[in-house]
Amino acid sequence: MRATRALIHLGNLKNNIIEIKKCLKPETKMCVAVKADAYGHGAVPCARAALEAGADYLSVATYEEGVVLRNAGIASPILMLSLCSPDEVEEVVSAGITPFVFDEEYIELFSSACKKLGIKKFEVHLAVDTGMGRIGCLPSEAGNIALKIKNCGNLVLGGTATHFALSDCVSEKGKSYTKFQFENFLEAINNIKSVGINPGICHCANSATTLDSPDMHLDMVRPGIIVYGYYADEVSKEYLVSKGKNVELKPVMTLESCVSSIRKFEKGKFAGYGCRWEAKSDTNVGVVPIGYADGWFRRFSECGVKVAVNGKNYPICGRICMDQCMIDLGADCTAKRWDKAVLFGDSSDGALQTADDIAHLTGTISYEITCGISKRVPRVFVQ
């Protein structure tokens, strides 16, 4: 197997779900996000592990992602969070994937597909836009849209949902806007009830509100990044501890490679494209066979991102290439050729930085770091 690989600790994923469930009431359901190939971790193995650990639902972004799970024999309810095109609707219905709907045209697409396929009862969830500005009906429209679903005759309203825009911000602005959205969502639910329709499973809590806002859990929560071992931005471990909550999350992915070559560099010698790095003194430079085609992005080159070898962090020297990068091992180099190099992940694997650390250095979020690890990096699943 290629030395550059991603270890996926399914035991850590199960641990994280157990930790998350400690924040919930026993009757609160959990829908685990496995979209984007489980945030880069591998959808099918992670979905199975999540269900084994007590998840009730899974969520995907596209119908193809849902079909992959169905083809793997996963029978649990699957929510499709994003919209599909008209020519995908029948596939969604055939696979028993639950879509979000919110307007008459989209509702009619699913009703027509059900008629064509001879399906008399098909569950949908109603999406409400409470301030995200993405998909969903307005809270004031929720009752009328729920009636349109009912009047189709072959669609059943199985749930009602919204999504928060600023819940991972703990400032007064963030808290106030999330409260505003939540109140809008409660208004939508009441509007549905006022026309004599059961809103079904009501859900709005993402990773941040799952950990920080128990009053917003309602019938089901939808954790994403916290399942994979990373806190939701400002709703950090330190913040939670300050509020008396101890939630121990463990990174599920460890990205590792090896030192494939070591060469002595004299003072003044350049390394990498553009000759942007120059040896300031005699040193040793190691080559690690991972580059931006693997998701070890070029922008990581000169911002403080490092690589761990034998318990010590070494800086990247020169620009990261498509397939390789170089690290400055120093004049007193103790590393040897073929030693393991750990780029981020669980400290038990020798990692000295996490995806979160890299995200902070590069102005992004941990989600993008794990999702960015490309398909050519093999995933190795371990318990």
Q: What is the pLDDT of residues 327-368, one digit of tens each?
A: 999 999 999 999 999 999 999 999 999 999 999 999 999 999
Q: Tens digits of per-residue pLDDT, 199-219?
A: 999 999 999 999 999 999 999
Torsion from C-alpha of 195, 201, 207, 208, nearest 10 degrees:
40
pLDDT reading at 1 higher than 90: no
What is the tens place of the pLDDT at every residue in 290-312? 999 999 999 999 999 999 999 99
The tens digit of pLDDT for each residue in 236-273 reads 999 999 999 999 999 999 999 999 999 999 999 999 99
Alpha-carbon span 27 to 173, nearest angstrom? 31
What Å distances lie between residue 116 and 89, 107, 112, 158, CA to CA? Answer: 11, 14, 6, 21
Q: Which residue ranges make up each domain of the chain?
A: 23-238, 253-382
Q: What is the pLDDT of residues 169-188, one digit of tens each?
A: 999 999 999 999 999 999 99
Of 14, 21, 29, 35, the catalytic one is: 35
Task: Report residue 291 as tokens.
Answer: 């580059």
Give phi and psi for 135, each to the nearest 5.
Answer: -125, 155
Which residue among the candidates 175, 193, 273, 340 is catalytic per the annotation?
273
Burial 169-197 (b: 16+ CB within 10 A, else e): bbeeebeebbeebbebbbbbbebbeeeeb
Determine whether the annotation assigns residue 134 to a binding site: yes
pLDDT in tens, 30-79: 999 999 999 999 999 999 999 999 999 999 999 999 999 999 999 999 99
User: Could you tell me what percent of the chain has a pLDDT over 70?
Assistant: 100
To the question of whether residue 70 is assigned a binding role by annotation, the answer is no
- What's the CATH code, domain 253-382? 2.40.37.10
Is 228 marked active-site? no
CA distance 360 to 92: 38
CATH homologous superfamily of domain 23-238?
Alanine racemase (3.20.20.10)
User: 137-151, pLDDT tens digit by residue?
Assistant: 999 999 999 999 999
Q: How far apart are the first and last CA of the chain?
A: 19
* 273 in catalytic set: yes
* d(C-alpha 82, C-alpha 70), whole Å: 18
Judged by phi (left if over 0) then psi (alpha if -120 to 50, else beta), residue 330 lies in left
Q: What is the mean pLDDT of the chain?
A: 97
Q: pTM of the predicted model, to two decimals?
A: 0.95
Q: What's the whole-number mean pLDDT along residues 151-177?
A: 97
